[in-house]
Amino acid sequence: MRLEVDITGKTYRSAAGGPHQVLAPIKFAIQSGEVGVLVGPSGCGKSTMLRIILGLDRDFDGHVARPPEARIGMVFQEPRLLPWRSVEQNVRLAAPDVTDGKLSELFRILELEAHRSHFPGELSLGLARRVALARAFAVEPDLLVLDEPLASLDDALAGRLRDEIATLVASRPVMTLLVTHSLEDAIRLGDRLFFLSPRPARIVQEMPIAIPRAKRNEVELARIRTEIRAELAALELETK
Amino acid sequence: MLRILSIALLLAIWWTAALFVGGAKLPSPPVVLHVIIAEAASGALFLHLGATLARVALAFALAMSAGSAIGYLMGRVTLADRLGDPWLILLLNLPALVVIVLAYIWAGLTEAAAIAAIAINKLPTAVVTLREGTRALDRSLDEMASVFAMPRWRAFRHVVLPQLAPYIAASARSGLSLVWKIVLVAELLGRPNGVGFEIGVAFQLFDTPRLLAYSLTFAAVVLVIETALVQPFEARATRWRPRAA
């Protein structure tokens, strides 16, 4: 399977009446088994792009080719859980075909076993984000979209969840699209990084990472980090 | 406990007032209780109460289901809202008496006319409440349901309905109180039985004990329905909310 994105533009009409360009032409594609990472400054139009790719926003110029039978798993920026359903029900409602064994395994990996019957209102943000991850993985997606899934979590927890995402992504062939503004997430999880400009967003640089995710050790990561920083500096783009 | 105390206080005020006013105008509680027992023994009380309750149940169910459906539609579809809004304002401001009298003139002094008239009185408030509820639906959860390709019915049941539940409960509660009041007028004007009919008879005879006997029994039944049905439903619908310790 393959996701092809060819957006030629997206314009809003602002409240004042004038047109407002959010996205410049953007073109990229990702394959099954690949993790594409969109890195860009806050407010550059990443979420708008995701909404277009997910089919939530059809009012744009261009074309998005997504296999129609592709199952989608999504982790929104806010967890978007149903507050009136328990953790387990939240997952099962999105993924009715999930087996008990698979569900238990997901809950074990994400350390949610103790919270199965809790309501989302009783969870911390970190836990709620993990439930959102469990939900996205439980549908066994062909296309997995992660919109800043680790934002506003402390470094230790973010690091652990990042490893868990890597484990889960490796467990099956899936096209993954990760949106982040953290270079750390990008180089640890991504196969191909797309750096976006401020609004209206366009891709200013595409960087593949040749070394497979599992084989990137700290030395390699440091090298990649330096390399990317240098390239970005040349482009006068800043990242964390 | 406080509830009982407050009811006792009401009784005490009534009893004292009855001692001062006295006689036929304001009978004391035991006199009214005596009438209630006598009417219950003859079976008339249950017959009339039953007739009224049946009308309430039917009219309420009709108005709530139609009103909720219309309100949901108007909240979701702008065109429906634009088309329906003038009708809604008209219905909201139409006096209950006008609807009842017109229904009896057009459809005769029939059961169907009475129930339809009561339902039409309740309908617009249900529509307004549910339309508000629908407008307040969380769009981000709709998007979530759509991304995860939830089938329509599952999304409605698990994503939409729980958000509407407090509005449905509010509408049911205000609706019940409205229907109670209107059903008596409809019975007074054109039905041969029911609490409203009995109150009409009592009025013609200036029979205050009988009037109070029927209206108080009826009020008691309402209280029971409110505590036994409406409040538990509300509690269930909001049980996921973290409670203040």
CATH number of this structure's domain B29-237, picked from the four choices 1.20.140.10, 2.40.30.10, 1.10.3720.10, 3.40.50.2300: 1.10.3720.10
Instruction: Tell me the nearest-neighbour CA distance from B155 into chain A, angstroms.
Output: 9
What is the CATH code for A2-71+142-234? Answer: 3.40.50.300
Helix (H) or strand (E) holding A22, with range, is strand A19-23
pLDDT at B47 over 50: yes
Query: What average pLDDT does range B68-76 have in this prediction?
Result: 95
pLDDT at A238 over 70: no
pTM for this structure? 0.82
pLDDT at B117 over 80: yes
Long-range CB pairs of B26-33 (<8 Å, 24+ gap) are B26/B208, B27/B208, B27/B209, B27/B212, B31/B209, B32/B209, B32/B212, B32/B213, B32/B216
Side chain identity at B74, as an amino acid letter?
Answer: M
pLDDT at B238 over 80: no
Which CA distances in Å does A190 have to A102, A180, B59, B136?
A: 25, 11, 62, 39
pLDDT at residue B245, as a whole number? 47
Q: Which residue bears the tokens 């750096």? A: A195
Q: Are A176 and A144 in contact (CB under 8 A)?
A: yes
Mutate to test the interface with B, among A52, A71, A72, A82 (most CBs of B within 10 A): A82
pLDDT band at A239 (very low <50, low <70, confident <90, very high): low
Query: What average pLDDT does range A127-135 have in this prediction?
Result: 92
Instruction: Tell me the nearest-neighbour CA distance from B242 into chain A, angstroms.
Output: 6
* CB-based burial, B213-222: b 16+ in 10 Å, e otherwise: bbbebbeebe
Distance of CA A46 to the CA centre of its chain: 10
CA B195, B199, B201, B207 torsion-angle sign: positive
**So where are chain B's domains?**
29-237
Question: Residue A70 burial by CB count (10 A; 0-12/13-18/19+): exposed, middle or buried?
Answer: middle
pLDDT band at B151 (very low <50, low <70, confident <90, very high): very high
**Do A54 and B147 count as a contact with CB atoms less than 8 A apart?**
yes
pLDDT at B163 over 70: yes
pLDDT at B158 over 90: yes
Q: Residue A74: which of B147, B158, B162 has the nearest Cβ?
A: B147
Report the range of poorest mean pLDDT among B21-25, B63-67, B80-84.
Answer: B21-25
Residues A160-219: pLDDT tens digits?
888 888 887 888 888 999 998 888 888 889 999 998 888 888 888 888 888 888 788 888
Q: Which residue of B has its CA nearest to A122?
A: B242
pLDDT at residue B173, as a whole number? 84
Q: 3-state DSSP call for residue A87?
A: helix
Instruction: Tell me the nearest-neighbour CA distance from B82 into chain A, angstroms.
Output: 23
pLDDT band at A237 (very low <50, low <70, confident <90, very high): low
**So where are chain A's domains?**
2-71+142-234, 79-140
Report the range of poorest mean pLDDT among A124-133, A202-211, B98-107, B201-210.
Answer: A202-211
On whether ipTM exceeds 0.85, the answer is: yes
Residues B198-209: pLDDT tens digits?
999 999 999 999
Identify the CA nearest to B194 among candidates B70, B105, B111: B111
Chain B residue set in contact with A, beta carbons under 8 Å: 140-141, 143-144, 146-150, 154, 158-159, 162, 240-242
pLDDT at B170 over 70: yes
Query: What average pLDDT does range A41-53 have in this prediction?
Result: 85
* Better-predicted residue by pLDDT, A160 or B103: B103
